[in-house]
């Protein structure tokens, strides 16, 4: 096998592993009450992976001011930039509210730090879910090779998206998004595995919206291009 091909495959595998680890760590951080003593350490691990993710995908930043911006590309860019901003706000505010790792800095501003951390974390979760949905095409293309597997995946995705909406409303997650509450409340009697599953399920409605929204935009683009080519043929015939 060509060495360059092996490097590309290795890099792609590392990217996938980092992305999965980031997602799992972020969902874990949303369950602060389950591991309060490890919360800051998990956050630091996530930040390290976040840096690695951006280094490995640095070409995206280099291409920001190149090429034409279609509606799909514009939306994708806005989501990505907003996600980076939200994560940086999470990290910066975590220094202000740190009770262990950064406590020695004694910066103060814990109250404003908690407010920023609460809102930034909520938006980072939503934007991460949208970002995930924008990059599901490779997975769905593989599923399309097996109709039964594809159908099962579609049914599971619809179920998880619907359940995610139920959890979103039940937890009043929108209150965190728009700072309608100053505190995050947890059901301490709920099993950790179920709490983790529910939080993960909340990401599915947003991933669902991003995935199918991108498909609709692509369909519209293809339709417009087809109409344009048809118009050009008529014009040439005249």
Give the span between the Cα atoms of 221 and 79, in whole angstroms.
20
Q: Parse the chain into domains and list their residue ranges.
A: 3-237
Over the stretch 37-46, which tens digit does the pLDDT of each residue have? Answer: 788 999 999 9
The pLDDT score that the predictor gives to residue 199 is 95
- Distance, CA of 135 to CA of 171 (rounded, Å): 27
Spell 128-148 as b/e; 16+ CB within 10 A means b. bbbbbbbebeeeeeebeeeee
Mean pLDDT of the chain: 90
- pTM of this prediction? 0.91
Full pLDDT tens readout for the chain, 238 residues:
577 888 888 989 999 999 999 999 999 999 877 777 788 999 999 999 999 999 999 999 999 999 999 999 999 999 999 999 999 999 999 999 988 888 888 888 889 999 999 999 999 999 999 999 999 988 888 888 888 888 998 999 999 999 999 999 999 999 999 999 988 888 888 888 999 999 999 999 999 999 999 999 988 888 877 777 766 776 666 5
> What pLDDT sits at residue 45?
96
């Amino acid at each position: 096998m060509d060495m360059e091909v092996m490097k590309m495959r290795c890099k792609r595998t590392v990217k996938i592993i980092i992305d999965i680890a980031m997602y799992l760590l972020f969902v874990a951080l949303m369950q602060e009450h389950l591991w309060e003593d490890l919360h800051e350490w998990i956050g630091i691990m996530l930040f390290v992976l976040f840096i690695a993710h951006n280094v490995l995908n640095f070409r995206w930043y280099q291409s920001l001011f190149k090429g034409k911006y279609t509606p799909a590309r514009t939306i994708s860019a806005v989501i990505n930039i907003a996600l980076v901003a939200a994560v940086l706000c999470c990290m910066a505010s975590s220094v202000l509210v740190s009770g262990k790792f950064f406590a020695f800095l004694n910066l103060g501003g814990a109250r404003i730090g908690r407010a920023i951390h609460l809102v930034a974390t909520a938006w980072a979760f939503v934007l991460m879910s949208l970002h995930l949905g924008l990059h599901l095409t490779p997975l769905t293309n593989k599923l399309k090779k097996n109709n039964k597997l594809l159908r099962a995946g579609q049914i599971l995705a619809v179920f998880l998206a619907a359940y995610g909406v139920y959890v979103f409303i039940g937890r009043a997650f929108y209150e965190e998004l728009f700072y309608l509450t100053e505190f995050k409340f947890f059901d301490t009697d709920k099993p950790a595995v179920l709490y983790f599953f529910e939080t993960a399920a909340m990401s599915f409605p947003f991933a669902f919206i991003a995935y199918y929204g991108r498909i609709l935009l692509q369909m519209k683009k293809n339709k417009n291009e087809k109409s344009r080519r048809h118009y050009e043929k008529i014009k040439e015939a005249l």
